[in-house]
Amino acid sequence: MIKLSENAINQRAPYKVEQTGDTSFMFETKYGVVYSVGFMQDVSFYNEGVYQFYLINLSSKTIGVDKNISETVRVVIEEFFTHKEVVMLYICDTADMRQEYRDRLFKIWFNTYEKCDLYSLYTEGMTIDNVRYLSSVLLRKDHPLHNQVLNKFHDFIVQHNQE
Amino acid sequence: MEAIIYKTEEERLEALRKMVGMRKIFEARAREIYEKKYGISLAQ
């Protein structure tokens, strides 16, 4: 189990984060919107090293575009990837069935990230119980099990996909 | 770090269901932490 550093994040993030667990944080924007961001261990296809990423608006309100949110989240993700042997699993929220839109936003964010060349991003679609999900893994290219992780993720999703 | 092997299709499907359903658990935990810490109930 890894532990992320609140201090390291707060040295660079525009919004001050507060640690709520080894790999979880909360922050409040200047508009009073509260977010929870972090990673939870996921043992769906590997017994360790895979963490499901989440970003949740706890206030259930949004106030326009706020670049400081994505900037803060970027710093949190960078802190996560100071650990070499981790895998980030991201499943787009299916609330209001806008998962495709969220997936596009995530890819735009990733492709404009200045260090994206250091990472591999791989996405699979799947349908479970008549709901379509988009699921991605993000990992460092120098992850020691890079190809095995991608292959295993692909197998896990595709072999058991109901699509 | 070892790959998980599923013996039956049903086991694998349950693992997929759990994986995609984890978000609700994250959200419930995050709300609980916030409400305990600040004594404020967040709107859902």
Residue A137 binned pLDDT confidence (cut-offs 50, 70, 90): very high
Token pair of A42, please? 């996921």
Distance CA A15, CA B35 (A): 20
> With an 8 Å Cβ cutoff, is B24 touching chain A?
no
**pLDDT tens across A78-114, in order?**
999 999 999 999 998 887 777 888 888 888 888 888 9
Q: Which residues of A touch B23 (CB under 8 A)?
A: 54, 56, 91, 93
The answer to whether A20 and A26 have CB atoms below 8 angstroms apart is yes
Q: Is residue A1 part of a domain?
A: no
Q: Which amino acid is at B43?
A: A
**Dihedral pair phi/psi, residue A39, rounded to 5°:** -140, 135
Measured CA distances, B6 to A44, A49, A91, A123, A154 (Å):
10, 18, 21, 22, 15
Question: For an interface test with A, which of B12, B14, B19, B31 has the most A Cβ atoms less than 10 Å from its Cβ?
Answer: B19
Question: Beta strand pairing status for A131-140 and A87-91?
Answer: antiparallel
Q: Is residue A126 part of a domain?
A: yes
Domain count, chain A: 1
Token pair of A107, please? 């890819």
**pLDDT tens across A18-60, in order?**
999 999 999 999 999 999 999 999 999 999 999 999 998 888 7
ipTM field: 0.83
Range of the domain at A141: 6-158
Distance CA A40, CA B26 (A): 8
Is B19 within 8 Å of A129 when comparing Cβ atoms?
Answer: no
Domain ranges of chain B: 9-37
Q: Is residue A163 part of a domain?
A: no
Does residue A163 carry a pLDDT above 80? no
Lookup result for tokens 């949110």: A69
Which H or E element spans position A140?
strand A131-140
User: What is the DSSP secondary structure assignment for residue A98, as one 8-state letter?
Assistant: -
Is A56 within 8 Å of B12 when comparing Cβ atoms?
Answer: no
Does residue B32 carry a pLDDT above 70? yes
For residue A35, give the CATH number of its domain. Answer: 3.40.630
Q: Is residue A24 part of a domain?
A: yes
Q: Is residue A82 part of a domain?
A: yes
